[in-house]
Chain A
Amino acid sequence: MQTKNIRNFSIIAHIDHGKSTLADRLIEYTGTLSEREMEAQVLDSMDLERERGITIKAQTVRLNYTAKNGEVYELNLIDTPGHVDFTYEVSRSLAACEGALLVVDATQGVEAQTLANVYMALEHDLAIIPVINKIDLPSAEPEMVKKEIEDVIGLDTSNAVLASAKTGIGIEEILEAIVHDIPAPSGERDKPLRALIFDSYFDSYKGVIAHIRLMDGRIRKGMQLRMMATGKLFEVTDVGCFRPAPVDVDELVAGDVGFVAGSLKNVRDVRVGDTVTTVVNPAAEALPGYRGVTPMVYCGLYPVDSADYDSLKDALEKLQLNDAALVFEPETSIALGFGYRCGFLGLLHMDVIQERLEREYHLKLITTAPSVIYHVHKTDGEMMAIDNPSKLPTPQEIDFMEEPYVKATVIVPNDYVGAVMEVSQNKRGEFKTMDYLDTNRVMLIYHIPLSEIIYDYFDQLKSMTRGYASLDYELADYKEAKLVKLDILLNGEAVDALSTIVHVDNAAYRGRQLAAKLKELIPQQMFEIPIQAAIGNKIVARENVRAFRKDVLAKCYGGDITRKRKLLEKQKEGKKRMKSVGSVEVPQEAFMAILKVH
Chain B
Amino acid sequence: MEAYTEALCREIAMQGSLFAAAGQAVTVYIGGGTPTALPLSLLERILRTVQRCFPLAADAEFSVEANPGTVDAAYLAGLLAAGANRLSLGVQSFNDRLLQRIGRIHTAEQARQAVFMAQAAGFKNVSLDLMYGLPGQTLADLAASVAEAAELQPQHISIYGLQVEEKTVFFRQQQQGRLQLPDEAVAETMYDYMTEELPRRGFIRYEISNFARSGFASRHNLGYWQDVPYLGMGTAAHSYWAGRRQENTVDIAAYIRQVMEGKLPAHEEEPAARSLHMEEFCFLALRTVQGIDRQKFVDKFDCTLESVYAPVLADMRGKGLLAVDDVGVRLTTRGMKYGNVVFAAFLL
Q: Which residues of A contact B (CB under 8 A)?
A: 526, 546, 548-559, 561-562, 564-565, 568-569, 571-572, 575
Contact pick for A555, options B209, B237, B247, B341, CB 8 Å: B209
A541 to chain B, nearest CB (A): 25
- Give the distance in Å from the alpha carbon of A47 to the alpha carbon of B140 in the complex: 64
B176 to chain A, nearest CB (A): 24
Contact pick for A552, options B221, B237, B276, B338, CB 8 Å: B338
- Give the distance in Å from the alpha carbon of A426 to the alpha carbon of B93 in the complex: 60
Interface flag for B339 (CB, 8 Å): yes
Cβ of A557 and Cβ of B343 under 8 Å apart?
no
Interface flag for B208 (CB, 8 Å): yes
Cβ of B188 and Cβ of A552 under 8 Å apart?
no
CB neighbours of B344 from chain A (8 A): 568, 571-572, 575
- Give the distance in Å from the alpha carbon of A103 to the alpha carbon of B19 in the complex: 82
- Give the distance in Å from the alpha carbon of A546 to the alpha carbon of B276 in the complex: 34
Cβ of A552 and Cβ of B337 under 8 Å apart?
yes
B277 to chain A, nearest CB (A): 11
Please give me the 3 A-B residue pairs with the lowest Cβ-Cβ distance, nearest first: A552-B339, A549-B188, A559-B238
Cβ of A553 and Cβ of B339 under 8 Å apart?
yes
Interface flag for B116 (CB, 8 Å): no
Binds A, one of B6-14, B99-107, B278-286: B278-286
Cβ of A568 and Cβ of B283 under 8 Å apart?
yes
Contact pick for B341, options A546, A551, A557, A561, CB 8 Å: A551
A557-B221 contact, Cβ under 8 Å, with A549-B184, A550-B338: yes
- Give the distance in Å from the alpha carbon of A569 to the alpha carbon of B340 in the complex: 11
- Give the distance in Å from the alpha carbon of A419 to the alpha carbon of B28 in the complex: 75
Smallest CB-CB separation from A571: which chain B residue? B344
Cβ of A571 and Cβ of B340 under 8 Å apart?
yes
Cβ of B160 and Cβ of A549 under 8 Å apart?
no
Cβ of A553 and Cβ of B340 under 8 Å apart?
yes
Cβ of A554 and Cβ of B208 under 8 Å apart?
yes
Interface size on B, residues (CB 8 A): 41
Beyond contacts A559-B238, A561-B280: 7 other A-B pairs, Cβ-Cβ < 8 A, are: A549-B184, A552-B340, A554-B209, A556-B224, A558-B238, A561-B238, A562-B269
- Give the distance in Å from the alpha carbon of A526 to the alpha carbon of B283 in the complex: 19
Cβ of A568 and Cβ of B187 under 8 Å apart?
no
Cβ of A552 and Cβ of B208 under 8 Å apart?
yes
Interface flag for B232 (CB, 8 Å): yes
- Give the distance in Å from the alpha carbon of A487 to the alpha carbon of B283 in the complex: 41
Smallest CB-CB separation from A556: which chain B residue? B287
Contact with A along B224-267 (1 / 0, CB 8 A): 11000010100011111000010100000000000000000000
Cβ of A556 and Cβ of B338 under 8 Å apart?
no
CB neighbours of B345 from chain A (8 A): 572
Q: Which B residues from 177 to 227 make CB contacts under 8 A with A?
A: 184-185, 187-188, 191, 208-209, 221, 224-225
B297 to chain A, nearest CB (A): 18
- Give the distance in Å from the alpha carbon of A32 to the alpha carbon of B238 in the complex: 67
Cβ of A554 and Cβ of B340 under 8 Å apart?
no
Cβ of B245 and Cβ of A561 under 8 Å apart?
yes
Contact pick for B230, options A548, A551, A558, CB 8 Å: A558
CB neighbours of A569 from chain B (8 A): 347
Contact pick for A554, options B161, B185, B238, CB 8 Å: B161
What are 20 A-B pairs at a CB distance below 8 A?
Answer: A549-B184, A549-B185, A550-B191, A550-B337, A551-B338, A553-B163, A553-B340, A554-B160, A554-B161, A555-B209, A557-B221, A558-B240, A559-B238, A561-B224, A561-B240, A561-B280, A562-B269, A571-B340, A572-B347, A575-B344
Interface flag for B336 (CB, 8 Å): yes
Pick the most buried of B163, B184, B185, B343: most chain A CB atoms within 10 A of its CB: B343
CB neighbours of B208 from chain A (8 A): 552, 554, 556
Smallest CB-CB separation from A559: which chain B residue? B238
CB neighbours of B238 from chain A (8 A): 558-559, 561-562
A319 to chain B, nearest CB (A): 35
Cβ of B247 and Cβ of A526 under 8 Å apart?
no
CB neighbours of A552 from chain B (8 A): 208, 336-340
Smallest CB-CB separation from B131: which chain A residue? A554
Contact with A along B146-168 (1 / 0, CB 8 A): 00000000000001110100000
CB neighbours of B245 from chain A (8 A): 561-562
Interface flag for B52 (CB, 8 Å): no
Smallest CB-CB separation from A546: which chain B residue? B184
Interface flag for B319 (CB, 8 Å): yes
Smallest CB-CB separation from B269: which chain A residue? A562
Smallest CB-CB separation from B209: which chain A residue? A554
A568-B340 contact, Cβ under 8 Å, with A554-B161, A556-B287: yes
B191 to chain A, nearest CB (A): 7
- Give the distance in Å from the alpha carbon of A36 to the alpha carbon of B237 in the complex: 59
- Give the distance in Å from the alpha carbon of A5 to the alpha carbon of B287 in the complex: 85
Cβ of B184 and Cβ of A559 under 8 Å apart?
no
Cβ of B224 and Cβ of A557 under 8 Å apart?
yes
A583 to chain B, nearest CB (A): 10
CB neighbours of A568 from chain B (8 A): 283, 340, 343-344, 347
CB neighbours of A558 from chain B (8 A): 224, 230, 232, 238-240
Cβ of B338 and Cβ of A526 under 8 Å apart?
yes
CB neighbours of A553 from chain B (8 A): 163, 339-340
- Give the distance in Å from the alpha carbon of A241 to the alpha carbon of B239 in the complex: 70
- Give the distance in Å from the alpha carbon of A572 to the alpha carbon of B238 in the complex: 25
- Give the distance in Å from the alpha carbon of A571 to the alpha carbon of B237 in the complex: 26
CB neighbours of B184 from chain A (8 A): 546, 548-550
Smallest CB-CB separation from B240: which chain A residue? A558
CB neighbours of A554 from chain B (8 A): 159-161, 163, 208-209
B239 to chain A, nearest CB (A): 8
Cβ of B284 and Cβ of A561 under 8 Å apart?
yes
- Give the distance in Å from the alpha carbon of A364 to the alpha carbon of B287 in the complex: 35
CB neighbours of B279 from chain A (8 A): 565
CB neighbours of B160 from chain A (8 A): 554-555
A294 to chain B, nearest CB (A): 47
- Give the distance in Å from the alpha carbon of A595 to the alpha carbon of B347 in the complex: 33
B256 to chain A, nearest CB (A): 20
- Give the distance in Å from the alpha carbon of A554 to the alpha carbon of B341 in the complex: 14
- Give the distance in Å from the alpha carbon of A554 to the alpha carbon of B343 in the complex: 13
CB neighbours of A561 from chain B (8 A): 224, 238, 240, 245, 280, 284
CB neighbours of B319 from chain A (8 A): 526
CB neighbours of A526 from chain B (8 A): 319, 338, 341
CB neighbours of A555 from chain B (8 A): 160, 209
CB neighbours of A571 from chain B (8 A): 340, 344
- Give the distance in Å from the alpha carbon of A137 to the alpha carbon of B336 in the complex: 68
Q: Which B residues from 325 to 348 make CB contacts under 8 A with A?
A: 336-341, 343-345, 347
Contact pick for B340, options A546, A551, A559, A562, CB 8 Å: A551
Smallest CB-CB separation from A548: which chain B residue? B184
A585 to chain B, nearest CB (A): 11
B194 to chain A, nearest CB (A): 11
A415 to chain B, nearest CB (A): 41
- Give the distance in Å from the alpha carbon of A568 to the alpha carbon of B347 in the complex: 8
- Give the distance in Å from the alpha carbon of A237 to the alpha carbon of B335 in the complex: 69
- Give the distance in Å from the alpha carbon of A279 to the alpha carbon of B294 in the complex: 79
A252 to chain B, nearest CB (A): 61
CB neighbours of A557 from chain B (8 A): 221, 224
CB neighbours of A572 from chain B (8 A): 344-345, 347
Q: Which B residues from 44 to 87 make CB contacts under 8 A with A?
A: none
CB neighbours of B338 from chain A (8 A): 526, 550-552
Pick the most buried of B159, B319, B338: most chain A CB atoms within 10 A of its CB: B338
Smallest CB-CB separation from A567: which chain B residue? B340
- Give the distance in Å from the alpha carbon of A548 to the alpha carbon of B341 in the complex: 12
A218 to chain B, nearest CB (A): 67
CB neighbours of A559 from chain B (8 A): 232, 236-238, 247
Pick the most buried of A548, A559, A575: most chain B CB atoms within 10 A of its CB: A559
- Give the distance in Å from the alpha carbon of A526 to the alpha carbon of B315 in the complex: 14
- Give the distance in Å from the alpha carbon of A554 to the alpha carbon of B232 in the complex: 22
CB neighbours of B221 from chain A (8 A): 557
- Give the distance in Å from the alpha carbon of A554 to the alpha carbon of B159 in the complex: 8
A575 to chain B, nearest CB (A): 7
B346 to chain A, nearest CB (A): 8
